[in-house]
Amino acid sequence: MEPKTPDKSQLGQVHVFWGDGKGKTTSAFGTALRACGNGYKVHLVQFMKNGTGDAELEIPGEIISLAKFNNFSYKRFGTGSWVIGKPKQHHIDKVSEAFDYLKSSLNQDYDIIIADEILYAVQLGLLEENKVVELIRTKPKNKELILTGSHIPFPNIFELADLVTEIKKIKHPYDAGIMARKGIEY
């Protein structure tokens, strides 16, 4: 199969996947898979995802699969612990580092940049909403930007986005006490 030459003239939109349901990151990864298969260069910046405990930090299966494409790359930021209650300084510092890296990524040779869990960073008080608004307003016009996360809406961000999808939970196995399963939920 010959590599596809993407039509970059249609790039430039902002996508938002938010809500209380499972599938926000999965939706972004579906877009990444489609984009990679069509020749676009996709870069993933993961906020607050780099392990959640003292266990060895392993790369999730979806990233391993996407990394098989030579036009997909990623960088993960996290402290190894969840934000519970008031954020700790090391959580704030790591989100700040991730945000600075995201801004610099917009000036690199990527067509699509995914800011995974950035909206949770805003929801948890680790990042100011106005910084995300400014990021959207100043991003290069030829870059597609995908934002994920948050259980609460951010009307100022949504107003600037071209696509806003709310992922709504109707029913989830967790409600019946079934914990997340590797390879299915994560």
Place 51 in a pLDDT band, splitting at 50, 70 and 90. Answer: low
Q: What is the pLDDT of residue 56?
A: 45
Strand order of the β-sheet with 144-148 is 72-76, 42-46, 112-116, 144-148, 14-18, 163-166
What is the pairing mode between strands 163-166 and 14-18? Answer: parallel
> Comparing 16-25, 33-42, 80-89, 132-141, which segment has the lowest mean pLDDT?
80-89
Model confidence, pTM = 0.93
Q: How many CB atoms lie within 10 A of CB 69?
A: 17
CATH number assigned to the domain with residue range 22-51+58-141, chosen from the 4 options 3.40.50.300, 3.30.565.10, 1.10.357.10, 3.40.50.2300: 3.40.50.300
Q: What is the pLDDT of residue 59?
A: 84
The structure tokens listed for 75 are 């960088």
Q: Cα dist. 123→18, 19, 21, 148 in Å? A: 11, 12, 16, 12
